[in-house]
Every structure is written in C-alpha cells, then in structure tokens.
C-alpha cells in the first residue's frame, strides 16, 4: 500500500512518525499561524517581557515558569514544543517540531542551536512526491547545549549532559556526560557534586 491510500489526516500521520505530506491544507494553516506568532514574538521589544511571554505561551505547547527564549526563534508549528521551568535559549533557536520536542527544566541552550525532528525518505520517488516523516527529540533536565549544536530527529539527551559547541547529535546521549564532535561522541562522564 502506498502512503497516500491509508486515509488518515496528514497531521495524524505526522505526529505518529509516519510518512506525510507537509503541504496538506490543515498543516499549512498551522504553519502559517506559527509564522505569524514567531514574527510577532521576534519583533517584540526587549523592554516588553510580558508581551514576549504572552506570545511565547500562545505559540508553544507549554512554557515553564521562569523560562526565557530570546528572539529570533523559528519553529514549524510551535504547539508540539514543551519547555520546562527555568530554561534559557539564547538567540537563534530553530526548533522544527513536526514531531514533539520536549525540553526539560533548567536547560541551557546556546546561540544558533537547531532541534530538527523532520526526516526525508531515502527512496528518491517518495522524496520527489514530497513525502516526509519526523521523530521526536527529548532534552533532559539540566542539559547544556553549546552554541551551534544540531540535534537530529529521534534523539534523546540524558539529564545533566553537556554537548560542546558545534556538535552534531545523531544518536542518544546518556545522562551525566560530556559529548563533542560530528557525530557527537561522549568524551567523559560527569560526577554530580554533592552540596
């Protein structure tokens, strides 16, 4: 059976991690809504944190208390992104949320980080026909993603892990580790300190 004959709405297929067509009218409308909100968010003056927070909570699926995301921000839909409490994302976050993106509490995200859930078929005919898929990304509590980190679809990063600037995370990373490089690899473990 070809993907187009299964009858499910494209949004349902997308969130299930199955092949879908992104220019479906429902998805296109949700994407336009996200673009409108990100444009407004990105244009909000730094001296108006209440307006910025209001737009962020309207755009994203959840935003924890004390969390700050500095513009510019780019998302596909916004509503599939959940950010915990006291997290911080510096300038230039790109979070393509065709699948859920979950960011824990106390996460630090450097400049120009990319969280990329979309994937595309290797089969050239499916790709030419504009089919794509997506896999979720999960960032654990107290993770630090250095500037320029790219996290690919389907990746989970364990709590307290540090990912060095410019790393490309292609596979899951354990908790309490330092990872660097392309592809990112663990170079040491972190022993949590006791107060």
Query: What residues are annotated to the active site?
Result: 120
E strand intervals along the chain: 20-21, 62-63, 68-69, 73-75, 81-83, 88-89, 93-96, 101-103, 108-109, 114-116, 118-119, 131-134, 137-139, 144-145, 150-151, 156-157, 162-163, 168-169, 177-180, 185-189
- Token pair belonging to 42: 């990105």
Give Cα 64 to chain centroid, integer Å: 16
């Amino acid at each position: 059976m070809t993907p187009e004959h299964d009858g499910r709405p494209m949004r349902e297929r997308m969130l299930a991690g199955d092949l879908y067509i992104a220019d479906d009218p429902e998805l296109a409308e949700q994407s336009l809504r996200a673009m409108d909100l990100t444009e407004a968010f990105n244009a909000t003056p730094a001296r108006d944190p209440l307006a910025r927070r209001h737009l962020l909570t309207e755009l994203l699926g959840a935003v924890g208390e004390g969390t700050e995301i500095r513009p510019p921000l780019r998302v596909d839909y916004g509503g599939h992104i959940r950010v915990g409490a006291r997290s911080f994302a510096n300038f230039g976050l790109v979070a393509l949320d065709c699948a859920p993106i979950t960011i824990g509490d106390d996460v630090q995200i450097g400049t120009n980080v990319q969280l990329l859930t979309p994937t595309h078929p290797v089969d050239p005919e499916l790709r030419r026909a504009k089919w794509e898929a997506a896999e979720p990304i999960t960032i654990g509590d107290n993770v630090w993603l250095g500037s320029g980190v790219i996290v690919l679809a389907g990746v989970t990063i364990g709590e307290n892990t540090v990912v060095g600037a410019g790393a490309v995370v292609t596979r899951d990373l354990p908790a309490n580790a330092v990872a660097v490089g392309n592809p990112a690899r663990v170079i040491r473990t972190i022993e949590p300190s006791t107060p």
